[in-house]
Structure 1
């Protein structure tokens, strides 16, 4: 029997693929995402799907906003995926296809497609992959799936995700189909939005601090 991969194994794998130090402000973001992806990957009931891929990509993009050096972000993302034996290109390609698809559909059309995925608009591989998740009686909910799902609907119509009542009514057929924990989903999305706001505020503070530091240096020179 193969030895179950541990969190330490995954971290070691990560740093084999990305050996540069991670900016201290963002280290916690990277490690929390790494651990979350690891725990899902070793769960016997978990099967990654395109919406989960999107959740990973969106989480990384949003929470690594402002990271420097910018050139390291690609290496960090690839290392996250490779640390659990996944292909980062598949994550990105399927996420991009889904987001592009969402921009062309109304929220209701999007839910209809998620309930009955078709091969329209070059979505063959996405549809088959999602169909497997949709028909899985042991579908494993995750926070990253919730973020991917939210991101799709936000891309379709940013206003629908701001109205809790309409949003809950819209997604009910899919949450029923997948037997999603509604309270957990709501809590996860509330926390996601709250953390995005904190990141935005942090970036403003950082920008102000850097500007103040720059002025002080100029004053010394002059």
Structure 2
């Protein structure tokens, strides 16, 4: 990009496109994702990668499992606004993630997975130093192995060799990914407990008010 958007520009676009408050847990993680993706897509070497789509969409969907909202379309509104803020096509990212998910699910061997032309393409980019690598590519690798039920260290090594991305990088980003998921799940459980306590307190207040109102009506009748 000749004049890439700044992080502030990207954040402002998201806020303008989705001007509704987000619970703190989701708001914090979403901002982190937005900043990370901003630096990826504004790289002068950036090219769209299906594997990145699979990784990012997987993380986003896991993040928004159990999202507390009465709007059934809230998740997709947030996703599309997120992508628009980055200047990306949300429908393409979803479609590519679904396409790669379907492909991985159908595979019965690691050889079937790495035969996909995208691996040769990525390796060529790595060798020419033109691949913009980020943690979502590593997560995409792992999800592809998960969906094909082939999550062994040996198969991850074969993915590394086929893509040209070092195993050290992949393992490092997968460790970070699992740590983030663990913290996110713990935060969601805490949030659920807080919401449940608030619901109980609200119900108790309503019961007391109803009892008080009933008593006042009875006293007035007397």
TM range (shorter): 0.7 to 0.9
Instruction: Verify the 8 A CA contact 1:47 1:133 in the aligned structure 2.
Output: no
Partner residue in 2 for 1:84: 86
> Structure 1 residue runs of 4+, over 4 Å off?
none
Do structure 1's residue 46 and structure 2's residue 55 form an aligned pair? no
Q: From 147, 161, 168, give the equivalent of 1:183.
A: 168
Q: From 135, 146, 155, give the equivalent of 2:124.
A: 135
Higher mean C-alpha deviation, range 96-105 or range 60-69: 60-69
Partner residue in 2 for 1:13: 13
1:84, distance to aligned residue in structure 2 (A): 1.7
Higher mean C-alpha deviation, range 55-64 or range 70-79: 70-79
SS in 1 for 2:143: helix
Show CA shifts across 1:1-20 (max 9, x none): 94222111111222232222
1:132, distance to aligned residue in structure 2 (A): 4.3
Partner residue in 2 for 1:196: 181
1:95, distance to aligned residue in structure 2 (A): 0.5
SS in 1 for 2:20: coil
Higher mean C-alpha deviation, range 187-196 or range 15-24: 15-24
> 5+ unaligned residues in a row in structure 1: which ranges?
118-126
For 2:122 and 2:193, the matched residues in 1 are separated by 45
SS in 1 for 2:115: helix
Give the TM-score, by structure 1 length.
0.80
1:144, distance to aligned residue in structure 2 (A): 0.8
- Of structures 1 and 2, the larger Rg is shown by 2
Decide whether aligned partners of structure 1 residues 12 and 216 sit closer, same or farther in structure 2, where only a CA change above 3 A counts: closer
Instruction: Verify the 8 A CA contact 2:7 2:35 in the aligned structure 1.
Output: yes
User: How many residues get paired?
Assistant: 202
User: Aligned-pair RMSD on alpha carbons?
Assistant: 2.2
For 2:112 and 2:28, the matched residues in 1 are separated by 34
Partner residue in 1 for 2:211: none
For 1:218 and 1:98, the matched residues in 2 are separated by 46
For 2:20 and 2:161, the matched residues in 1 are separated by 44
Alignment of structure 1 residues 29-108 onto 2, 5 Å: 29-69=29-69, 71-108=73-110
Decide whether aligned partners of structure 1 residues 17 and 209 sit closer, same or farther in structure 2, where only a CA change above 3 A counts: closer
Partner residue in 2 for 1:26: 26
Instruction: Verify the 8 A CA contact 1:110 1:153 in the aligned structure 2.
Output: no
Instruction: Verify the 8 A CA contact 2:142 2:156 in the aligned structure 1.
Output: no
> 5+ unaligned residues in a row in structure 2: which ranges?
209-222
